[in-house]
Amino acid sequence: MKQPKKTKMKKGILALLLFAFCAIFTATGQTNSTNATHTGKWKFEAPYAPEGFNTGTIDVKFAEDKYTTSISFTTSGYTLAGEKAKVEKDTLSFTVFVEGQEVVVYLRPDTEKKMTGKAVYFEGDIPLTLTKQEAAN
């Protein structure tokens, strides 16, 4: 027995709406978890970096649908703004210019409180380890 065309059309529209709802809901959930995973203030260690650039903090924020980053070095006390910050396949990347040299940072979360990665510059790769700092109340 054939179904009337209106019934088939209603089922098709209902299926399409259900699919769209699920896709939007899933995408929103993934975005929120990724944002929470990468954002915050992170203490970093880079034991193979030049003296003065081997410890500090990286601050990662997410607002208005974009990431912003900044990096501060412990010994110098100055803060540099990151550029081109983005998350792709769970890896946060951004570019910073240190003493005129371009450094591209790649970070991937290991746990909620630890990220590892590397800083890439003209002389090679420097391994990085980050530990999330507790928020001050």
pTM of the complete model:
0.72
pLDDT of residue 130: 94
Q: Answer for the pair 103, 119: CB distance below 8 angstroms, yes or no.
A: yes
Under CATH, which number does the domain 39-132 receive? 2.40.128.120
Identify which of 123, 97, 117 has the alpha carbon closest to the alpha carbon of residue 46.
117
Report, as ranges of residue numbers, the positions in the chain whose pLDDT lies below 70. 1-35, 136-137
The full set of domain ranges for the chain reads: 1-37, 39-132
Identify which of 118, 119, 134, 136 has the alpha carbon closest to the alpha carbon of residue 43.
134
pLDDT of residue 75: 86
pLDDT of residue 19: 47
pLDDT in tens, 125-137: 999 999 999 876 5
| β strands within the chain, DSSP E | 40-45, 55-63, 66-73, 79-81, 83-88, 91-98, 101-111, 114-121, 124-132
Q: Give burial (CB, 10 Å; 0-12/13-18/19+) of 99.
A: exposed
